[in-house]
Amino acid sequence: MQLTFIGTGDCAGVPVYNCTCPICAESRTNPQKRRSSCCAYLTTETTRLLIDAGAPDLGDRFSRNAIDLILLSHYHIDHVYGLFPMRWGSSCKPIPVYGPDYPKGCADLLQHPGIFDFSHTLQPFISQQLTDIEITPLPLNHSKPSLGYALKYGNSRLAWLSDTSGLPGDTINFLKKWLPSTMVLDCTFPPLEHPHPNHNDIDSAIALHHAIGPESTYLTHISHDLDFWFSTSGFLLPQGLHLASDGLNMRV
């Protein structure tokens, strides 16, 4: 499987509107420092899968033939925003969208789906074979019903886990047995005195990396606060842990 990070930022992105911190200031002139809303593009020999859809320019990035299906973790706006203009496009057949069973969803998008088919709901721990990828939905800890995904293709195993604060015990136990080779994990904040209810801080993310034990973990849903903390603290990530960046492309 080939994975490309389209967006690795939190809901505000980087730069944050009207913020003058050094990270935001630099990102306005250095595109490599920018972070769009969280989403990624996963391909195999026969399948092209969009994971979340927060980036606003998805319609410019991808032709209709470049997307076979879309996998949504949840229906917060920063994970579906890119679908709003795309839905009014022209298509020979609907694009299937898979996600949690949440009828409220993002209301206007579900009521006026355009070229998208939102009828494909997923249930935790019930695996499905979608084209050539086996997908197992995993419960997350978030303010709306949210799913992570264990994606298996041949010997490759990828766990996609955004947005979440910690992980439910059943999800941790599943991942320990399933043994992902690569894990993509929410890490929004620098060290916090008290856990955030919806997103991991760096301490929580490191603890999950060690508890689950993948070969590599890539941190995503990153805020400008976390980028600033890394730039000033001198902190070095443990072996196997990496900060993802927009445009990063890798084989998993």
Note the pLDDT of residue 105: 80
Note the pLDDT of residue 40: 98
CA distances from 33 to 3, 159, 230 (A): 20, 25, 13
Contacts 24+ apart (CB under 8 A), 16-21: 16/224, 19/224, 21/224, 21/228
Note the pLDDT of residue 91: 73
- The residue with tokens 């209810």 is 197
Q: Answer yes or no: are the C-beta atoms of 74 and 142 closer than 8 Å.
A: yes
Note the pLDDT of residue 103: 82
pTM of the model: 0.96
Q: Answer yes or no: are the C-beta atoms of 243 and 222 closer than 8 Å.
A: yes
CA distances from 227 to 28, 122, 181, 247 (A): 14, 34, 25, 17
pLDDT per residue as tens digits for the range 164-223 = 999 999 999 999 999 999 999 999 999 999 999 999 999 999 999 999 999 999 999 999
- Residues of the chain falling short of pLDDT 50: none
Q: Is the dihedral of CA 13, 63, 1, 148 positive or negative?
A: positive
CA distances from 248 to 32, 35, 207, 242 (A): 10, 11, 24, 11
Question: Closest Cα partner for 212 from 252, 162, 172?
Answer: 172
Structural domain boundaries enclosing 48: 2-251
Note the pLDDT of residue 2: 98
Residue type, 19: C
Domain count, the chain: 1
CATH number at residue 126: 3.60.15.10
